[in-house]
Amino acid sequence: MQNNSLDLSPKEFEMLLHEASDLVLQQHADIDNKKAFHYFSQKEIESWFDEPLPRHGMDNSELMALTKEKVLDTATNNLGPYMFAYVMAGGSQMSIIAEKLAATINQNVGKWHLAPAINEIERRVIQWAGEMTGFGNSVGGVLVSGGSAANLTGLIVARNIFFEKYNIREQGLFNMPPFTLYASNEVHGCVDKSIEELGIGTNQLRRIATNADFTINLEALEQAIEKDITEGLTPFCVIGNAGTVNTGAIDDLMALSQIAKKYHLWFHIDGAYGGLVATLPSIKNEYKGMDLADSVAVDFHKWLYSAFEAGCLLVKDWDLLKRTYFKKAAYLDTELEEDKGRLDFNEHHFQLSRNAKALKVWMGLKSYGFERIQKMQQKDIDLTRYLAEQLNEADDFELTSVSHLAIACFRYKGTLTHEEQISSLNQRMIPALEKDGRVFITGTKLKGEFAIRACLINHRMHKGTVDYLIKVVREVGSSLE
């Protein structure tokens, strides 16, 4: 029987919540024996959902069964330990619980009094992010969808603050001579997209050559800055990588901060991939200079193992965000509110309505403690070393890169000796591995050469899963040789 709202009867609501919990438990059961990818053609998956707008509701038990069959049971197994593609951290169980609770209270974190506790939790998470990344204790920031949005936000703040005296929020960029940005040629594509969206144009992004270890070449960087100055352009921002997406390379952040200082540039760090391991005792030396950046992008859905989506932009002061984003509107005015300690995120970011991303990060950190998370981070790095050792020892594999972080790139050679054949074999292996589905792995290009790329950020991985990766890649590779 339907009542006059969208609510279920209490009994049915309870039953469906239990069913949903059962589905969550089933996803976690026997995880080592589940495939990483279920191959279906795009046309087939499209056909499952190809129907007109439902005008009338269906039976909810049937809907749950349908969702299980078509969505959960076919889902790319990001959760599982055989996901080596991109940067897929597996998520945490505490995130699942937090997301359910967050959806229940349905808070809008755009204004303080719409979500008082979540608002303060978000501020606390930002504070903790300053500590976890070594960026510092004096921070402002905002939670955003991920690393791309965090980099975009950082570059917007950089541009608006750097050119504040030209009043570009009102004037736009019209009539200004081009200003230039600098990053290594390994910088993530989201920086390109950000620069396009900012109206600066990627012609103004100087892609600086990298050294053999894929870190930015500092001499080439200075030369590029000097050249632009000589040509009358305005260098304004240098972007450092605290872990590149391709190989996990960490630029010399201390040297970049000095160059930024010398030429009066904004120093932004893309720490989406590696920012959250910056204080890990075994590698923190590689991150010297994090605290000297003006802004840092980090991703909790990567190396904090939070569920998608949760990224964060950190700056040194809330005021930088306010000067970038504040817009007065009568319907949002806080003047009538008594408590002046309130901080409204809509005044410090583009979004007005915002969900409670911070809850899963906060609950995760409170439940596991950062030290336990750091143990998982270290395990990921150790497993990557283990993978590299195994590949180095094997005659039929070639390790092409491994960094301080949890990415190794390699090629399967089998018995082949000709460069072109090896390259072609490895490229053919990617779709074949996807069809096979036992592991999920993708490729990249390093200095123009194709390589298979394994990212091992997932707290559920262990030595067995690494051995399994090698076994499956070998089997698929040799079948195509």
Residues contributing to the site for ligand PLP (CB under 6 A): 87, 146-148, 151, 188, 190, 243-245, 270, 272-273, 299, 311
Indicate the residue among 416 and 452 with the shorter CB distance to ligand PLP: 452
Nearer to ligand PLP, 188 or 349 (CB): 188
Smallest gap from residue 245 Cβ to ligand PLP (A) = 3
Instruction: Give 144 or 473: the residue with its C-beta nearer to ligand PLP.
Output: 144
326 backbone dihedrals φ, ψ, rounded to 5°: -55, 130
For residue 269, the minimal CB distance to ligand PLP (Å) is 10
First to last CA, the chain: 62
Q: What is the DSSP letter of 236?
A: E
**Least spacing, CB of residue 118 vs ligand PLP, in Å:** 21
Smallest gap from residue 420 Cβ to ligand PLP (A): 30
Cα distance between residue 446 and residue 424, in whole Å: 15
In the bound state with ligand PLP, the residue whose beta carbon lies nearer, of 244 and 390, is 244
Task: Give the distance from CA 341 to its chain's centroid.
Answer: 31
B/e letters for 112-147, b = 16+ CB within 10 Å, e = fewer, are bebbeebbbbbbebbbbbbebbbbeeebbbbbbbbb
- Mark 6-38 as b/e (b = at least 16 C-beta within 10 Å): eeeeeeeeeeeeebeeeeeeebeeeeeebebbe
CB closer to ligand PLP, 154 vs 477: 154
Distance in Å, CB of 316 to ligand PLP, minimum = 21
Least Å distance between CB 242 and ligand PLP? 8
Cα angle for residues 105, 111, 116 (degrees, 5° grid): 50
Closest CA to 239 of 308, 304, 296, 161: 296
- Residues facing residue 216 across a β-bridge: 210
CA angle 61, 62, 63 (to 5 degrees): 90
Rank residues 239 and 472 by Cβ distance to ligand PLP and give the closer one.
Answer: 239
| Alpha helices (H) along 40-92 | 42-48, 60-67
> Of 149 and 320, which CB lies nearer to ligand PLP in the complex structure?
149
Q: Give 441 or 472: the residue with its C-beta nearer to ligand PLP.
A: 441
How is 166-205 classified by DSSP, letter by letter? GTHHHHTTTTPPPEEEEEETT--HHHHHHHHHTTS-GGGE
Q: Smaller CB distance to ligand PLP: residue 291 or 299?
A: 299
Q: To the nearest whole angstrom, how small is the minimum distance from the Cβ of residue 156 to ligand PLP? A: 15
- Tell me how far apart the alpha carbons of residues 429 and 412 are, in angstroms, rounded to a whole number: 9
Nearer to ligand PLP by Cβ, of 111 and 404: the residue is: 404
Interhelix angle for 370-393 vs 463-480, to 10°? Answer: 40
Closest distance between ligand PLP and the C-beta of residue 90, in Å? 14
Residue 125: CB minimum distance to ligand PLP, A: 16
Identify the CA nearest to 365 among candidates 356, 374, 353.
Answer: 374
> Shortest distance, CB of residue 199 to ligand PLP, whole angstroms?
21
Q: Helix, strand, or coil here: 105? A: helix
